[in-house]
Structure 1
Amino acid sequence: MTLTPEQQAEIDALRSQTQQTLRATVPGMEAHLYKAYEVLDHGFIRVIDYMGDDSAICQAARVSYGKGTKSVQNDEGLIRYLMRHWHSTPFEMCEIKLHVKLPVFVARQWIRHRTANVNEYSARYSILDREFYIPAPEHINAQSVVNNQGRGGVLEGEEAARVLEILKADSNRAYDHYEQMISQEGQDGLARELARMNLPANVYTQWYWKVDLHNLFHFLRLRADAHAQYEIRVYADAICKVVADWVPAAYGAFEDYRLGGATLSGKALDCVRRMLKGEEVTQENSGMSKGEWREFEGVLNDPA
């Protein structure tokens, strides 16, 4: 991704401003404000605004005035308790607003998380840029043989080259036709809201996305997971780095209990108890299906 001189000038101008405020600010988050962090080949995330910090979570949990206790250890312990017992409301007191540039097919996955406020770039009003997501060769994969919505091994050699050439050619051909249809030269030109339907799902769009911390953690738990699709996972990973600087205690608890933890079914927990007693447990005597057993083994042997 390369920012235009105009975009970089806008970011520099915003970062040069200083505002006096009585509200809580976080030095780590202030360092992130307005900066564009590259994701994929043309995408980025930017923090536009935020509200709250770790203390705001504790303040809401205690319904207290000011910062509550002065002990960082006490606050961190409370946050871990809240996370451990799924008390979500105090985390909703913190909010973040992001500017995200992403491929349309990633946006369609992302928008499934409906507990946020979104305003997307309008292709009815404006003309989309000729920017498409083209995967790097190491991310051109075959279909998984064990997961209908996952990837298998990496395609190599002529097969990978053929796929990449098709992706590039089809993307540019569709955009050429898009430009031809909306052109005003020698014709009336098709309405932009109609012409956009010819664009491929890998064209880039942009939006402002505002979400509270509880729902952001839910998004990150699913999308920063190793099993999430790569193209949305890299956005989640970039957001994780920002959130870790914004609410370090809350993110630490989230990383421990959600990203690094696992949920076991009653059958799985029973198998663990039997294993601890020295009993040999197999898929056949576990009461689980083959798919459940495979996932159970994955948790025990390789949490990632």
Structure 2
Amino acid sequence: MPLSPDQQSEIDEARAKPRETLRCVAPGLEAALYTAHPVLDHGFVRVIDYMGDDSAICQAARVSYGRGTKSVSNDEGLIRYLMRHWHSTPFEMCEIKLHVKLPIFVARQWIRHRTANVNEYSARYSILDREFYIPAPEHLAAQSDINRQGRGTTLEGETAARVLEILKADSARAYDNYLTMISDEGQQGLARELARMNLPANIYTQWYWKTDLHNLFHFLRLRADAHAQYEIRAYADVIGQIVAQWVPIAWRAFSDYRLGGAQLSAPELAVLRRMLKGESVSEEGSGLSAREWREFHALFD
């Protein structure tokens, strides 16, 4: 169950009491406020609160640039200019607070983005639910032969079934032992803060995660990339859909210049210029490493 009955009751109550406000609102996001968007097998993402919209980005930019922005004819043109030239400060004027339920191993990747405010569910105070992430068969894969931190071919047949059975059995056994250790029936139960060490990394945790739009875009640029681990990418994709409802103009600019764009190094740019002039450039004569050469060609495949 992605949401507990108490959480669903809280959402229903909040959505049943709309409030008048003088601050700017994003209609697309207002329609989805508090709603849980399912991710993976037991996870979700939902918006708790936000500040600002596309107009807030422009307002901040025009304060900082003064009369220099008079030549920008509309908000979309200004936002695309800011994105294209890496002017990040105006995007920091928008903030969003998310409630996320996610496996602990995904949370440990996520927390590497240290530019957010985070408050996580406390397993010292509360007992964690019996909910574990078990991959769908199509997401079980062998280690990649060419990427030390990536996946290769999908596991099939008996091999996949054996792995799934191990994951399920180990998760259940660890949780049963967790409950046994903290139980105070006929014994002095172990402290929750100690018992939690025996839980596997695929158990679900929850947190509130608040960040500004600039740093959220940085998170999405890395985690919505095709090379990111599937599990965190699933969350990034859902958050991207939320951002598109919140700041649609900024999202389009981000999609064009970051997600769908590419950045070239000086040597790569030099190779491209030579090619555009009609020169045949080989890997040996490019000045690029073998990996740089592969990645350069992958941009145009």
Same fold (TM over 0.5): yes
* Counterpart for residue 41 of structure 1: 41
Query: Residue 72 and residue 280 in structure 1: after superposition, are their counterparts in 2 closer, same or farther (change >3 A)?
Result: closer
Measured after TM superposition, the shift of residue 109 of structure 1 is 0.4
* Counterpart for residue 237 of structure 1: 237
2:118 aligned with 1:118, yes or no?
yes
Letter in 2 for 1:210: K
* Counterpart for residue 287 of structure 2: 287
Distance, in Å, in 1 between the alignment partners of 2:246 and 2:239 is 11
After superposition, give the CA deviation of every residue in 1:178-234 in whole Å (9 maximum; x if it has no partner): 011000111111000000001000000000000000000000000011110000001
Letter in 1 for 2:204: Y
* Counterpart for residue 132 of structure 1: 132
After superposition, give the CA deviation of every residue in 1:18-68 in whole Å (9 maximum; x if it has no partner): 11111001110101100000000000000000000111001001119xxxx
Distance, in Å, in 2 between the alignment partners of 1:39 and 1:251 is 21
Letter in 2 for 1:278: G
Distance, in Å, in 2 between the alignment partners of 1:157 and 1:283 is 41
Letter in 2 for 1:195: A
Letter in 2 for 1:283: E
Distance, in Å, in 2 between the alignment partners of 1:226 and 1:282 is 27
Measured after TM superposition, the shift of residue 282 of structure 1 is 2.3
What is the TM-score with the length of structure 1 in the denominator? 0.95
Letter in 2 for 1:60: A
Residue pairs, 1:102-117, within 5 angstroms: 102-117=102-117
* Counterpart for residue 21 of structure 1: 21
Residue 300 of structure 1 aligns to a residue whose secondary structure is coil
Distance, in Å, in 1 between the alignment partners of 2:4 and 2:82 is 43
Measured after TM superposition, the shift of residue 72 of structure 1 is 10
Residue 205 of structure 1 aligns to a residue whose secondary structure is strand
Distance, in Å, in 2 between the alignment partners of 1:190 and 1:72 is 64
* Counterpart for residue 271 of structure 2: 271
CA RMSD between the two structures: 1.6
Distance, in Å, in 2 between the alignment partners of 1:2 and 1:88 is 35
Distance, in Å, in 1 between the alignment partners of 2:293 and 2:173 is 46
After superposition, give the CA deviation of every residue in 1:257-288 in whole Å (9 maximum; x if it has no partner): 00001111111111111111122222222111
Aligned length, in residue pairs: 297
* Counterpart for residue 225 of structure 1: 225
What is the TM-score with the length of structure 2 in the denominator? 0.96
Measured after TM superposition, the shift of residue 5 of structure 1 is 3.4
Residue 211 of structure 2 aligns to a residue whose secondary structure is strand
* Counterpart for residue 213 of structure 2: 213
Identity across the alignment (%): 77
Residue 202 of structure 1 aligns to a residue whose secondary structure is coil
Runs of at least 5 residues in structure 1 that lack an aligned partner in the other structure: none
Letter in 1 for 2:108: R
Letter in 1 for 2:18: T
Distance, in Å, in 2 between the alignment partners of 1:178 and 1:246 is 41
Measured after TM superposition, the shift of residue 73 of structure 1 is 5.9
Distance, in Å, in 2 between the alignment partners of 1:222 and 1:292 is 19
Residue pairs, 1:61-80, within 5 angstroms: 61-63=61-63, 74-80=74-80
After superposition, give the CA deviation of every residue in 1:160-190 in whole Å (9 maximum; x if it has no partner): 1111111111111111110110001111110
Letter in 2 for 1:28: G
Distance, in Å, in 2 between the alignment partners of 1:215 and 1:6 is 31
Letter in 2 for 1:145: D
* Counterpart for residue 255 of structure 1: 255
Letter in 1 for 2:233: R
Residue 63 of structure 1 aligns to a residue whose secondary structure is helix
* Counterpart for residue 202 of structure 1: 202
Letter in 2 for 1:215: N
After superposition, give the CA deviation of every residue in 1:83-142 in whole Å (9 maximum; x if it has no partner): 111111100000000000000000000000000000000000000001000000000000
